Structure 1
Amino acid sequence: MEDFGEIVQEFLVESHENLDQLDSDLVTLERDPQSRELLSSIFRTIHTIKGTSGFLAFGRLETLAHAGESLLSRLRDGVQPVTQETISTLLAMLDGVRALLATIEETGAEGDVPVEEIIARVNRQIAAAKPAAAKPAAAKPSAGKASRGKAVKTSRKAVKTTAPAETAPAEASAAAPHDAAEPDARRPIGELLVEGGGAVDTDVNWALQKQNAGDERPLGSILLDEGKTNTGAVNEALAAQGRRAVADSSIRVDVDLLDALMNLVGELVLVRNQLVRAADEADDPVIVRTTQRLNLITSELQEGIMKTRMQPIEQLWMKLPRVVRDLSNACGKQVKVRMVGAETELDRSLLEAVKDPLTHLVRNAVDHGIEDLSQRAAAGKPAEGVLTLRAYHESGHVTVEVTDDGSGINVEKVRAKAVERGVVGADEAARMEPREVMMQVFQPGFSTADQVTNVSGRGVGMDVVKTNIERIGGAIDVESTLGEGTTWRLTIPLTLAIIQALTIESGGERYVVPQVAVHELVYIDGAQTRIEYVSGAPVYRLRGKLLPLVRLDTALGRPTSSGDEGVYIVVLQGDGRRFGVVVDRVLNTEEVVVKALTARFKELGVYAGATILGDGKVALILDVASLARRSRLSPASERAVEAEEPATPVGGAVDRLLITTVGARRVAIPLDTVTRLEEFAADKLEWVGNREVVQYRGRILPLVRLSALLGVGMAEQGEAVSAVVYTQAGRSVALVVDTIVDIVESSADERGELDDDGLIGSTVVAQRVTELLDVRRAILAADPHFYTESDSALVEA
């Protein structure tokens, strides 16, 4: 494009934008064929492309656009109806226009792109339709006003890329009916006064004649002095002239220039960080104040430059209704697209990066997720499926969801396929939670399709989606309910250039972790907090759940530099798993500039980039997902820990207590009797006889409400209930509490005795009397045969 004239460049950019909008508008028109406003807007846009291409001597493009314009003219005038075949023909015409534009962009000429068949198809549509007897419905008065923004845009394009039109005299413009495409800033004040009701045509023409005769007063002053208008009307007309036109409120900037500015801002941020550190060490009030001011200005400049690169995700979504429409027709389905949060903004480079993964998820949802008409009818669902695209900002990143109301993912089918393909072993697959099973669809070559189609079924795609999203520092997750639908959730950083990061140290070297992946930090002092080992693997008991650990120095192939005391655990989420990384020190959180790595470093697969810290030293940025995979973390590691942990005698005196609330009372449960903490949806609780149960990991889990056991009034039940799960020899029970407060240390010598049913004593925790639960009594209340059958199971084992 460097050799093109400025006019051709402008024409290509604007035409591509128009084509994306036309794709969306035509799909909308198919659903609302009576929309005169939409038809008029589409016609105007095609007319603009045709006129400009003729001016630029692109004959084939002009001929193709003219054919589409002719068909659209008949649709607009009501001569023939809008049908599915008509829309398909117009979409094919747009594809031809797009192909010609691509050739012009690449070679500077139209080339030999075949458009004759498309033109013939359009002409056949025109010839096949019989003239409609009814006259076209008149457009509503509001339609012209509603489409003004669009008209301004296309009119402005014509001004930029076509020959200048003849200009009417000012006298005539005052009385002529105003074109909705003309911005107020370019219209004479007389016309604005007439339109606003502040004056009449004859008075304005009279004032213009006085000006032509030599009166030097402004037109508004003449009308005011002669009593033909009022001050308020003149001020309103002047204000309308002062408003900037929509097309004049923005300019086009080359993306390369924005990239260069972003790089410069990145360098400025690095210098800022170095100055801030130097100012802290200098301890000079003048330098500190100056640095603080520089810090503020740099942050505002950085934010401003980043905003210039931000674009609404609607620009990406605009192409998807066409994809859904074509695919649903090919599959014999009816699918409607809903968009929520289309105004959510994302860095332009990230929009390009997520385009293909998002398109694949949409295609997968239409082909695999949403059922055909007969299946939806049998399930009692509407014939038309709904595909919802949702985007929103959350915790410094953008979340994009693709949700369908289809059949959902059959977890057992995925489990069986995973075993069949050797992705996981049969024993491990049987222990997997449903969410862990669903994550197997991201394995390379994994597919549950019964037959291969031209859309999907080859097992190529979902793993690529996951890889591409992780490459830009994002993550993907899936939630599904059988028979109700599936949600694919993409978590994407706002930008790739400058990120919030946590600086850590291991083995004397500093590393950077993206803040979005960090959940919390834990200091291990070796006394109150400590690292445990199961079969040689380090774990940490975090709020009742066992967290698998990775030593960073070991994972990076460096000698182990520290023991199990005086270290930190950085709790991370990556590759669909939560795990902890053991490091020597946690330094600080700051904005860092991401620098790309050479190919040799990328091959290591552990680093996502590099940055320069405030002291001028280089630090590598860790790739959290790759670190999880490299460390061979298994999602089933917590269950392995549970299975190998020796059972602790129930009811014995222990040092660590889980504090809960039951009604107005505080009840402590020995932490050694806590296998895990869970939350169950209230609507998932069921009854078997006179016992309350819930389905848990493929089994029926008995529940006991401690409020009933202790004779306490139960708190008002919300959407979820908190439960403490105890597991022994493969059997589990759940103790339902109102809330979970904390984990504390307590000495057995400080406890009092109680003989109340369900309690074994009391203690004081945080100045509150806390009762000690008789866990054995509670477990037997939930399952009277728990210990008998557990002991039998242990003997058999």
Structure 2
Amino acid sequence: MDMNAYLSMFIDESNDHLQSLNENLLRLESAPEDLSIVQVIFRSAHTLKGMSATMGFEDLASLTHEMENVLDLVRNNKLKMDGFIFDTLFKGLDALEAMVQDVVGGGTGKADVSHIVASLKAIVSGDYKTAASAAGAPVGAGTGNAVNAGGAEAGGMELDQFQFSVIQQSMETGHHVFHINVKVREDCMLKAARAYMVFELLERSGEVVKSEPSVQEIEQEKFDRSFSLYLITQKPMDELKVQIENVSEIESAQLTLLDEESLSLLSKPSRPEPAAARREGDGKPAADDNKPRAGAAPQAAGGAVTKTIRVDIERLDVLMNLFSELLIDRVRLEQLASEIRRGDLTETVEHMARVSGDLQNIVLKLRMVPVESVFNRFPRMIRDLAKTLDKKVDLVITGAETELDRTVIDEIGDPLVHLLRNSIDHGIETADKRRQSGKPETGTVNLRAFHSGNNVFIEIGDDGGGINRERVLATAVKNGVVTAEQGKTMSDEEVYMLLFAPGFSTAEKISDISGRGVGLDVVKSKINSLGGAVSVQSQLGKGTVFSIQLPLTLSIISAMLIKLGSEKFAIPLSSIMETTIVRREQIHHIHGNRMIEFRGAIIPVVSLSRLLESPDFDESQETETEAVIIRKGDKWAAVMVDDFIGQSDIVLKPLGNYLNGTAAVSGATILGDGQVALIINPNALIK
């Protein structure tokens, strides 16, 4: 049997199952006792294992099998979920996704997952100590969630649930557990290097369970002269003490043996709630009961089943291109029928226009994809980020069913990732700072999508510290983005938009979390290339909202056709508020800018002929001129034109590099008479 014929189906269904596993594992982390979620996860893992084995991807099948063994114990109440098990299962999911992506790229789907398999087998056998070692966890960094006040503590160091159980089991099996405090000499020049030598020595003698400060902080020399750790070993205390103090530039080593009495003083810690992701309508993470989530799809099939079919996206692209050509011919036929004025021809063309209009709606809907396909990636990302930054974050997703053109969906993923990372890193404060500000410890990030006219808006809002205007302005002046004099006259919104200037970053330290020292200019340039716009609103101490405006589709749009002399242009209707006539005496000159009063507001006048250097039209010679009122967010402008032709559906054609440097032009279209008309980008006309 030729498996290549089924490869596409395998990839699609594998991605669906992996997404389901990620989502449900996040739900289970918020409700570890809910066995109904475990059943859903187990079924997805079991199906994925069978598919992988059938297709001959043995590494995929074997890893999924080991994950299935763990889940089987959990669903039969033989194993309780904890932080270490969750982390190991998430690592397994990451490895599965990497292997599927390798298959997508034409690879064999093979990968070295022996360390994850060893961890999973150790969980099944109950040997947690082996599991920690096999998982490759950083020595002393811990593998579970850190406990709060009331957790296990000894020698000034807090232990999480997993570390406590490791020490307890080790003492029961006859191992020694030492609390060791190491002090380096005051004149030591390379403290991190000496600490590394101590850790290397101790790892040869046993297993380091926990260190204070953490291993990462010690490597970065973020400690004064001493550091502490727990060591499980068979070696005697005196021998260890001599070996440590023999390391160059180590001043002293104090070792304390933990016995059953000191162990009894350590109470088993309670596990804190993890960062959770929820949909609006849940009210809170479903950790308190076993009720299904509000708005969740029912498990039992009760209603009518929608029949679907998978279609290769390239076929949809071909269909759209063919329909685009049909649309151009339809407009041409309508023009010819109006010139010939023959009744039966006009009637036939009108009927064809109605049918092709219905066909157009169907073709466009075929290309529409819910933003849920992008949003579903973010709960897992937020969970991992919150854990990395030691913050508590709740992601609330609203409007995931909102639909966008596939070409737009493919492009917005990276900008949204950047903005979400920015909100978690720079927006949401640490739990301590939030408590001091009188806020809940858990910060909230809202990801919202909704339709408005011919546009889709996506908002990323947080209840963090907000944007500090003075800090942004000072950085902008320092980097030469604006002058100090310009900054004094700028509104808050204008200052916030400086965040999108090329190379702008307020980060005191470059990190891999959000900016990487690059800033948000990549977000703005990507959104602008899609014909969209981005804006910012913020309140210091209250939070920030980034709003992205995107067109519904990039293929076929409704536009107003206008003339400039002998040339024709198209302006998207989604940006036009209304049309009007402007008389010469209505135009005022304010600070060198031409302005008109329109509906109680003063708005700028844009000369399209000057901007596009049109030689055969100059509105300054006219006593009155037609104008199009366009809007970008809450900003308005009047665009002066020669004459209106009318409204029409147009097909967007890219220009390539021909007019790449002209921001006012976003593309071209072919009109019914065969002429080419340039498409104006209204967002570029309003600064």
TM norm structure 2: 0.72
Q: What secondary structure, in the 3-state scheme, does the structure 1 residue paired with 2:36 have? A: helix
Q: Deviation of residue 576 (structure 1)?
A: 8.0
- The one-letter amino acid of 2:571's match is V
Shift of 1:128: 3.8
Q: Secondary structure at the match of 1:602?
A: coil
Tell me how far 1:395 sits from its aligned partner.
0.8
Deviations 1:255-289, CA, capped at 9 Å, x for gaps: 00011111111122222222222333333333332
Q: Aligned residue for 2:148? A: none
**Aligned equivalents of 1:258, 1:447: Cα separation in 2:** 41
Aligned residue number for residue 561 of structure 1: 618
1:27 and 1:87 in contact (8 A); partners too: no
Asked if structure 1 preserves the Cα contact closer than 8 Å seen for 2:324 and 2:651, the reply is yes
> CA separation in 2, counterparts of 1:607 and 1:272?
25
Note the 1:395-406 alignment, pairs <5 A: 395-406=453-464
Contact residue 450 and residue 456 of structure 2 kept, 8 A: yes
The change in CA–CA distance for 1:375 and 1:535 in structure 2 (over 3 A counts) is closer
Structure 1 residue 74 displacement after superposition: 1.8
1:363 Cα offset (Å): 0.9
Report the equivalent of 2:62: 63
Structure 1 residue 60, shift from structure 2 partner: 1.1
Aligned pairs (5 A) from 1:71-470: 71-111=70-110, 113-126=111-124, 127-128=126-127, 249-470=307-528
Gaps of 5+ in 2: 129-164, 170-288
* Maintained 8 Å contact 1:439/1:576: no
Aligned positions of 1:536-547 closer than 5 A? 536-547=592-603
- Does the 8 A contact of 1:478 with 1:486 survive in 2? yes
2:511/2:517 contact within 8 Å kept = no
AA of the residue aligned to 2:619:
S
Deviations 1:489-509 (A, max 9, x none): 111111111011121222321
CA distance 1:580–1:459, shift in 2 (3 Å): farther
Superposed, 1:664-743 pairs within 5 Å as: none
Offset at residue 148 of structure 1 (A):
9.5
Amino acid at match of 2:378: L
Aligned partner (choices 567, 572, 583) of residue 509 of structure 1: 567
Report the AA paired with residue 96 of structure 2: V
Question: In the alignment, is the contact (CA less than 8 A) between 1:41 and 1:147 conserved in 2?
Answer: no
Deviates more, 1:102-111 or 1:122-131: 122-131
Partner of 2:138 in structure 1? none
Query: Equivalent residue of 2:589, what SS?
Result: strand
Percent identity, aligned pairs only?
A: 35
Closer, same or farther: CA 567–11 of 1 in aligned 2, 3 Å: same
How many angstroms does 1:73 deviate by? 1.4
Q: Residues of 2 paired with 1:545 and 1:558: CA distance?
A: 29
Query: In the alignment, which residue of structure 1 is the partner of 2:604?
Result: 548
**1:314 shift after superposition:** 1.1
Q: What is the Cα deviation at residue 577 of structure 1?
A: 4.9
Deviations 1:73-119 (A, max 9, x none): 122222222223322211110111111112223235234x2211221
The code of the aligned residue for 1:548 comes to P
Q: Is the 8 A contact 2:562 2:644 kept in 1?
A: yes
- For 1:745-764, what aligned pairs fall within 5 Å after superposition? none
Letter in 1 for 2:116: I
State the 1:308 CA deviation: 1.4
Select which of 512, 526, 537 maps to 1:479. 537
Q: Deviations over 1:295-325 (max 9, x none)?
A: 1111111111111111211111111001100
CA distance in 2, matches of 1:310, 1:100: 29
CA contact (8 A) 2:626 2:643 kept: yes
Deviations 1:685-741 (A, max 9, x none): xxxxxxxxxxxxxxxxxxxxxxxxxxxxxxxxxxxxxxxxxxxxxxxxxxxxxxxxx
Q: Which residue of 482, 494, 498 corresponds with 2:556?
A: 498
Aligned twin of 2:681:
623
Q: Is the 8 A contact 1:500 1:592 kept in 2?
A: yes
Going from structure 1 to structure 2, the CA distance change for 1:281 and 1:323 (only over 3 Å counts) comes to same
User: Which string of whole-angstrom CA distances, capped at 9 and with x for unpartnered residues, describes residues 141-168 of structure 1?
Assistant: 998xx99976xxxxxxxxxxxxxxxxxx
Higher normalized contact order (CA 8 Å, seq sep 6+, divided by chain length) = 2
Partner of 2:582: 524
Contact 2:510 2:517 in 1 (8 A): no
Provide, for residues 365-406 of structure 1, a one-character-per-residue CA deviation record: whole Å limited to 9, x for no partner: 111111110111011111111111111111111111111111
Equivalent-residue separation in structure 1 for 2:376 and 2:77 (angstroms): 27
- Contact 1:23 1:318 (C-alpha < 8 Å) held by counterparts: no
| Distance (whole Å) between structure 1 residues aligned to residue 482 and residue 291 of structure 2 | 62
3-state SS of the aligned residue for 1:47? helix
The residue number in structure 2 matching 1:9 is 8
Q: C-alpha deviations, 1:529-563, integer Å up to 9, x for none?
A: x2222354322222343322221121123335232
Q: Classify 1:578/1:122 alpha carbon distance in 2 versus 1 (closer, same or farther; 3 Å).
A: farther
- The structure with the largest alpha-carbon Rg is 1
Equivalent residue number for residue 230 of structure 2: none
Of 601-610 and 299-308, the range deviating more from structure 2: 601-610
CA distance in 2, matches of 1:431, 1:141: 56
What's the secondary structure of 2:396's corresponding residue? strand
SS in structure 2 of the partner of residue 597 of structure 1: coil
Distance 1:536 1:406, change over 3 A: closer
Q: Deviations over 1:180-207 (max 9, x none)?
A: 7xx8xxxxxxxxxxxxxxxxxxxxxxxx
Partner SS state of residue 407, structure 2: helix
Give the equivalent residue in structure 1 for 2:242.
Answer: none
Contact 1:21 1:318 in 2 (8 A): no
Moved more, 114-123 or 492-501: 114-123
Q: What is the CA–CA distance in structure 2 between the aligned matches of 1:69 and 1:436, rounded to whole Å?
A: 54
Does the residue aligned with 1:54 lie in a helix, a strand or coil?
A: helix
Q: Is the 8 A contact 1:333 1:372 kept in 2?
A: yes
| CA–CA distance in structure 2, aligned partners of residues 428 and 576 of structure 1 | 22
C-alpha distance in 2 between matches for 1:14 and 1:79: 30
User: What is the CA deviation profile of residues 200-221 of structure 1, one whole-angstrom value per residue up to 9, with x for unaligned ones?
Assistant: xxxxxxxxxxxxxxxxxxxxxx
Output the CA distance in 1 between the equivalents of 2:456 and 2:637: 23
Q: Distance in 2 between matches of 1:255 and 1:98?
A: 21
Structure 1: gaps (5+ residues): 132-139, 151-179, 184-239, 634-797
Structure 1-normalised TM-score? 0.62
Name 2:208's counterpart in structure 1: none
User: For the residues of structure 1 that align with 2:483 and 2:28, how far apart are their CA atoms?
Assistant: 51
d(CA) in 2 for partners of 1:433, 1:408: 16
Paired positions, count: 523
